[in-house]
Chains A and B, each alone.
Chain A
Amino acid sequence: MTAETQAANAAAVADFRARARWQWYEPIFWLGAIAWYFLFPTYLPLGTQVLCSALFALSLDLILGYGGIVSLGHTTFFGIGAYTAGLLAKYGWGEPITCLLAGGVTAAIAGWICSFVIVRVQGVALLLVTLGINLVLYEIANKAYTITGGADGLQGIVFWKVFGVFDYDIEGRVAYIYTLAVVFLLFLVARRIVYSPFGLALKGMRENWKRMPALGAALRHHGALIFVLSAAIAGLAGALLAESVQFVALDSLGVQRSVDVLTMLIVGGTGVLYGSFVGATVYMVVRDQLADLNPAYWYFWIGLMLVVVVLFTRNGVVGALSDAAAWFQRRGRAQS
């Protein structure tokens, strides 16, 4: 290796290090999630659901925000994870960690099978194929009610104590902490993925689908790999939710949830990791409050939120915040 290439490599490594450096707002964010536990003890079940949804949205962000693969049926994998964990618990094995992992593994396998199809279509066809897979699976779960409970959902599942010590309590304290810990670990994994050279290749794929192969990038391979990773995380999110609510509803496979998670991600902002957390929090809290206020018509405001976000912001709440920050910076510079 010549000195020149060595220098170039060192520069590239330094570049990747710089990208992956932790920003000042990141610890604040996670401290906020811990603070929720102490500040809103009566809202812990909501907090747990927000975390699961955020993880689910994060998995969608990996393929959509980074890989540029739009899916209208991502809840396929969320549902598979949830049903795997639920069915294991129902038929005698309720150990939370292994159930969680099993949910992730089955979702990953399903994602691997789907990936052969996904990487071959684009545009409206891609929307339709993802939606179609989702619909077929929903119909199967709906009809196979002897196994899945059909429209009534999977009932009578009991998970054992976490680590054999902490029992799921009625206030949802154990569920919240357990979920937060798992979500944080998986966030670290996702963070590692997007700041790696592989993550950079994904961004290239999102930005210019035609030019990347000219650079020697194996697009289909990258696309399939991130799809499987994303499916695994979605499955883990589903399994987490099943464990915290001790129930699997049929609508965990419903197209509505696919659209909901897309909404969360868009409201938060795509391709910025924290967008999924911000979006899930805004969406779930707004929905919680609106549903209390007016149970029949809250969808109107969710719809309005979507329209406003698409028409007036560049990239959801996170995009709007960073635009505002840039504006203040420019103004500050202009004044000094």
Chain B
Amino acid sequence: MFSIIQGIVQVLFDGVAFGMLLFVMSVGLSITLGMMRFANLAHGVFAMLGGYVTATLMYRGGWPFLVTLPIAFGLVAVVSVALERFVYRRVYAAKELDQVLLTVGIIYMSIAAAAYVWGPEPMTFTLPDYLTVYRRIGWFSFSTYGALLLAFGTVITLAIFYGLERTRFGAMIRAAVDDRRVALGMGINVNRVFTITFAIGSGLAGLGGALGINALGLDPSFPIEYLVFFLIVVSIGGGGTVKGALAASLLLGLSDTAGKYYVPQTGAFIIYVVMLLVMLWRPNGLFGRS
């Protein structure tokens, strides 16, 4: 009996931690899709880049893990702005298919580039000692790394909700997501709002990639491997809703963790079936507007 409860608590803890990580990585994509109707399949590239920045700084520069995180965020944000300005901006008006293909092309290029710079093998990565310890509360033990993911996820989630709901810039973002044309008519510089939002979203993906190296692994095929996860989060949540993205991330994190814990032989089968069923039930996502 104890072991069953222990297992449930373990799955809940790990699942929520994983879900938070997914949320941090994919919330930017959800906003991008909602605001510009732009299907950026290459979103995972930003997460991968963040991971590599952190790994490189730690191994080549000997920097402490926590210090590398803001740098991963900032660097990825800067790179994403360049990409948005020079490439993405040209296809906002294009058909969905063109956007898909362009971003798939960018995925391919970044996979090859990452393999060239960092080598095709998975990055071996060791967390600092204080994150590999297990703590006990009663008869339940948890990793400090999982606690760190949870803490980061919670803080970032609160910051996003505060920023969106309570600040002037957040109101501008919501206006642009709701109706781009009316927002333009109100004198909101939607392009500028979008660039900044895109930078923040991509930066968060980079931060998530850096935070999650230990949980997700890091090798050049990262953007393809986790593409399905991002797509599931965005489509189940519904594009443009932060709440939806959060709910979908937690659902995905929990069901994936529970699946791996209780029925490991089915692999990723469960989450794919769940995704298909949700898509059939509500094509616009659980929280999406039609």
Contact = CB atoms under 8 A, between A and B. Distances in A.
B172 interface: no
Interface stretch (B48-56, B150-158, B200-208, B262-270): B262-270
List of 8 A-B pairs having minimum Cβ-Cβ separation, nearest first:
A303-B108, A306-B105, A300-B112, A303-B109, A307-B105, A125-B283, A303-B105, A132-B276
B193 interface: no
Interface in A124-144: 124-125, 127-129, 131-133, 135-136, 139-140, 142-143
Given A124-B235, A297-B116, A302 B108 contact: yes
Nearest to A137: B272
B96 interface: yes
Contact of B235 (A117, A128, A266): A128
Contacts of B137: none
Contacts of B109: 299-300, 303-304, 307
Given A300-B109, A300-B112, A127 B228 contact: no
A133 B273 CA distance: 8
Interface of B: 33, 39, 87, 90-91, 94, 96-98, 100-102, 104-113, 115-116, 120, 224, 228, 231-232, 234-235, 239, 265-269, 272-273, 275-276, 279-280, 283-284
A239 interface: no
Nearest to A134: B272
Contacts of A139: 266-269, 272
Interface of A: 64, 70, 72, 117, 120-125, 127-129, 131-133, 135-136, 139-140, 142-143, 255-256, 259, 262-263, 266, 296-300, 302-307, 309-311
A306 B87 CA distance: 13
Given A136-B269, A142-B267, A306 B100 contact: no
Nearest to A310: B102
Contact of A127 (B94, B100, B110, B113): B100
Contacts of A262: 101, 104
A120 B283 contact: yes
B231 A131 contact: yes
A122 B111 CA distance: 29
A310 B224 CA distance: 20
Given A142-B267, A143-B269, A128 B275 contact: yes
A297 B101 contact: no
Contacts of A304: 105, 109
Given A124-B231, A125-B284, A127-B39, 10 more contacts: A121-B280, A128-B235, A139-B267, A142-B267, A143-B267, A262-B101, A300-B109, A300-B113, A306-B108, A310-B94
B265 A143 contact: yes
Given A70-B96, A124-B39, A303 B107 contact: yes
Contacts of B228: 131, 135
A319 B96 CA distance: 19
A317 to B, nearest CB: 14
A133 B111 CA distance: 25
Contacts of A298: 112
